[in-house]
Amino acid sequence: MSTSTSTSTTRVALVTGGSGGIGRAVVERLAADGFAVAVHYAGNQATAQALAAEIEAAGGQAIAVGGDVADEVAMAAVLDATEAAFGGIDVVVNTAGIMVLGPVATFDLADLDRMHRTNVRGAFVVAQQAARRVRPGGAIIGFSTSQTRLRHPGYAPYAASKAAVEAITLVLARELRGKDITVNAVAPGPTATPLFLDGKDEQTISTLAGLAPLERLGTPDDVAETVAFLAGPARWVNGQIIYVNGGIA
C-alpha cells in the first residue's frame, strides 16, 4: 500500500534500530497491528529499505529513515520525514543500542564513551524528540536491560547505560503530565539476537538459557509482544520498566 493512502486514523510508529534483531520484530509486529511504520537505521540502509518494502508488499505502510540517534539534527529530520509520510507520529520505540562487555577494572574508556553516546545520549535525543512530536493518545517506549537487576560480571558498562534509560523514562513519564502520552521502557533478559549472541560460546549461551524458569532464551517476538501491548491497549501502564525475561529477575 502506498504511503499516500495514509489517513488521519492510521496510527504511526517510528522504530529506531528497526532493521534487525528486536527492532525488526517490533516493526513487523506493529505493522501487523495496522501501524504505518518508519523503519529507522543507522548504517544498514539496504536492510531497512528491504523490510519497508516487505511490509508494503504485504499491504502495509512503511518507509525507511536513516540517522544517528545521538545526533539531534539527524533525528529531527527522521521525525520530519515520518510526519511528512504519514501525517504525524503516535508511537516512538527506541530499540537502537550497542553492547560492549568487559570488567570495570580493565574496560576501555573509548568503548565506554562510544557505547554511552548511543545508549545514553541517543536515548535522550530520541526521547526529547518524541516528547515534542508524539500525538495525544500515543506512547514512548525505551529499551533497558534485565542486567540492571541480574548484575552479571562484565555487564557494568552496558547496564549503567541502560540504567540511564530507566531514569529518563521514569522522569519523562511525569514531565508529560496532561499530554495523554505514556512513557515506559522494556527490559529484556537474554534474547537470541545477533547483538546478544556475538562473542558468546555455546556453553555460555546454554547457561544463560537455563537461568529462566521457562528454560530458554527469549526471542525477539517475545519482546515485540510486550512493545505492542505498550504501544496499543496499555493506556494505564505509564512510568514503568517492564522486565521481559521469562522470570530470571
Place of cell 576501555: 108
Answer yes or no: 41 catalytic: no
The answer for residues whose C-beta is within 8 angstroms of residue 165's C-beta and 6 or more apart is 119, 120, 123, 142, 143, 144, 185
23 vs 93: CA distance, rounded Å:
9
Calculated CA dihedral for residues 10, 19, 100, 92, nearest 10 degrees: -10
Residue pair 69/42 in contact by the 8 Å Cβ criterion: yes
Active-site residue identified among 41, 155, 158, 243: 158
Question: Are the C-beta atoms of 163 and 117 separated by less than 8 Å?
Answer: no
Alpha-carbon torsion angle 228, 232, 237, 240, nearest 10: 40
* Residues designated as active site: 158
